Amino acid sequence: MEPADQLRSRPTPIPGLVLFDLPVHGDNRGWFKENWHREKMAALGLPDFGPVQNNISFNALRGTTRGIHAEPWDKFISLASGRIFGAWVDLREGPTFGKVFHTEMSPREAIFVPRGVGNAFQTLEDNTAYTYLVNDHWSAAAQADYTFLNLADEDVALPWPIPLERAVVSDQDRTHPRLGDVAPMQARRTLILGAGGQLGTALRREFEGDATVDFAGRAQFDITNEDAYLATNWRKYSTVINAAAFTGVDAAETDDGRRAAWRINALAVSRLARVAVEHSLTLVHVSSDYVFDGTAAVHREDEAPAPVGVYGQSKAAGDAAVAAVPRHYIVRSSWVVGEGRNFVRTMARLAAQGASPAVVDDQWGRLSFAEDIAACIRHLLQSGAPYGTYNFSNSGEPQSWADIAREVFRHCGSDPTRVGSISTLDYSGPGTAPRPRSSVLDLSKITDAGFAPPNATERLAEYLEAREPLAESGETA
């Protein structure tokens, strides 16, 4: 192999396994190389995998053979001295299970090994130093998550330069299972928090049947309880979707509500953000139009927050914490409608009762149906959209609350003219939180990311047609 005069990457037959050619600069004193360069290597396709530990394996004798070990973290492997025959076998669950790649390596090469790909090597020179960066801390307990394959497996049939019967191999490595007996390493999982609320229920339906998704309501994981974080094996997860929130806009203006809003929407979210950074997780968080004061006619993602109430202030603080996570999606929604108590169901009940409500006519926005927020979140994760903040509501012309109430009455077979209008000023009173006048969100960024929000009017009709009979349990307007 010709020495590399510049850093290069080369793909391999195993998805995610990337080989690098490293420039080595030598003179009469020895040699020097940039063994790890985050910025340069990321530009060549290396994931920004966040290494946290550096390990070195020194092998005194030629023929020392180690493996085949698939570990529950990513590794970046290179040599400080000597040469090896390196071999990698995909032991991840999926269609590439059992796929093989092997090559010789010297200090001029390095390789990125994704989680679940079995790694092995045989030294071709004495005094070979083999070094690797990993993105999780080793512990004795972590070995329970390893997947092993026998070095002599007949199906893989690795062409060891030095036959294994003459190689230096540990007793343990000689007893690992054959490929047919290996339980593939499962992909990291997704954890959905707040799975009992409006959005959480929609997320349950969106990810129904996906065996890699875990759902946790408050009883299973209380985001305000430190013990819940300590009891969770975060190594199992790649993604956390936070659908838990304090949503009592008016209640947040009370003494108890103010404390609850900040505890749940800000402090707990900052704790989640810290976990995401520590464990290199993707964090998905749902925000609100209430982080804006509503003076802009249409709100873009890059608008500075200016909340006018406690609820919006606590949500803006949570957003700021999430934005510091390298891998994050903030999905900012408005006027959410899902299962349980909400404005649309309340208006449908009033229509059935023959009531004539007065509804605010000078606040503008679009409905966001929980099922569509859930589908938007799934799209962002599966499409690999750039991390960041995305506005989401259903599409169509902006409406006032009074406009929406009249649509609900009409769909329910009631006279829409029975819905009267009232201004925000006249509606507001003691205990009523301030609200943004305009909650209209610009949808161009999420559309450009490949997700077209369904029309709000069409979704409203479908929602009303599918709703349960209105025997609803104590709803109030």
Q: How far is CA 234 from the centre of its chain?
A: 13
Burial class (CB in 10 A: 0-12, 13-18, 19+), 230: exposed
Lookup result for tokens 């994760």:
381
Domains plus CATH for the chain?
8-181 (2.60.120.10), 189-466 (3.40.50.720)
What pLDDT is stored for residue 468 in this prediction? 55
CB 85 within 8 A of CB 45: no
CB 213 within 8 A of CB 219: no
Helix (H, G, I), strand (E, B) or coil at 314: helix
- Phi then psi for residue 134, to 5 deg, are -130, 155
The region that residue 444 occupies, defined by phi over 0 for left and psi between -120 and 50 for alpha, beta otherwise, is alpha
Q: Could you give the strand order of the β-sheet that contains 100-105, starting from the edge strand earlier in sequence?
A: 100-105, 84-90, 117-123, 65-70, 147-148
What pLDDT is stored for residue 456 in this prediction? 97
How far apart, in whole angstroms, are the C-alpha atoms of residue 193 and residue 211? 16
Helical segments of 121-254, H only: 171-174, 198-206, 226-230
In order, the DSSP letters of 247-274 are --TTGGGSHHHHHHHHIIIIIHHHHHHH
CB 390 within 8 A of CB 331: yes
How far apart, in whole angstroms, are the C-alpha atoms of residue 46 and residue 9? 9
- Give pTM, 2 decimals: 0.87
**Model confidence pLDDT, tens digit, residues 145-171:** 899 999 999 999 999 999 999 999 999
Closest CA to 281 of 342, 232, 353: 232
Q: Tell me, what DSSP letter sits at residue 208?
A: T
Lookup result for tokens 């914490």:
321
What pLDDT is stored for residue 1 in this prediction? 45
Selected catalytic residue, list 69, 102, 285, 411: 69
Is 69 one of the catalytic residues?
A: yes
What pLDDT is stored for residue 141 in this prediction? 77
Low-confidence ranges of the chain (pLDDT < 70): 1-4, 467-477
Helix (H, G, I), strand (E, B) or coil at 167: coil
- Phi then psi for residue 127, to 5 deg, are 55, 50
In order, the DSSP letters of 425-453 are HHH--TTPPP--SB-PBP-HHHHHTT--P
Closest CA to 317 of 255, 270, 256: 270
How far apart, in whole angstroms, are the C-alpha atoms of residue 316 and residue 311? 9
What pLDDT is stored for residue 471 in this prediction? 39
Q: Tell me, what DSSP letter sits at residue 161?
A: S
Cβ density class 62-75: b for 16+ within 10 Å, e for less: bbbbbbbbbbbbbb
Q: Tell me, what DSSP letter sits at residue 164?
A: G
Give the C-alpha distances (Å, rounded to integers) separating 451 from 86, 173, 433, 443: 43, 49, 33, 10
Spatial CB neighbours of 308, under 8 Å, sequence gap ≥ 6: 293, 294, 434, 435, 436
Residue 66, H or E segment: strand 65-70
Selected catalytic residue, list 102, 130, 132, 411: 132
